Amino acid sequence: MLQITPRHKILIAVEPVDFRKGIDGLRAMCIPKWKIDPFSGHIFVFRNKISTSVKILAYDGNGFWVCQKRFSSGKLKWWPQTAQDCASVRAIELLIVLQQGALVQGCIPENWRRLES
């Protein structure tokens, strides 16, 4: 099972990709685009040209996962426009985007907080 946790580094492709690509096609895009080995355990997120579908590529130590979500209605409300926008995407923010939400400065807590003793 693929789980997205706060410990994952999430990289979002700003530009749309051809969704005919499978695992090998998406994996081949990771090194030139981000200079990161796709076997690193990072989560790579892609969207199609018309923003109606998202693909996620991840390596879990045993093999690659590729997951696709096609929205039954509507399009993505938010997607990064520049590399700086996607540098700070966290797991909770990705989950909001996958539910067709828009990221705004709001009540999303920090990933880790010091517990008071």
Give the pLDDT score at 98: 85
Classified by CATH at the fold level, domain 10-98 comes out as SHC Adaptor Protein (3.30.505)
* pLDDT for 77 beyond 90: no
Q: What are 86's two structure tokens?
A: 């996607």
As a whole number of angstroms, the distance between CA 70 and CA 60 comes to: 23
CA proximity to 17, closest of 29, 7, 31, 5: 29
Give the pLDDT score at 32: 85
* pLDDT for 19 beyond 80: yes
Tens of pLDDT along 94-104?
888 888 777 66
Tens of pLDDT along 20-69?
999 999 999 888 888 889 999 999 999 999 999 999 999 998 999 999 99
Give the pLDDT score at 35: 87
Q: What pTM does this model have?
A: 0.83
As a whole number of angstroms, the distance between CA 117 and CA 29 comes to: 46
Q: 114: pLDDT confidence band, cut at 50, 70 and 90?
A: low
> What value does the mean pLDDT take over residues 12-19?
92
Provide the 10 A C-beta neighbour count for residue 33: 16
> What residue type is assigned to position 110 of the chain?
E
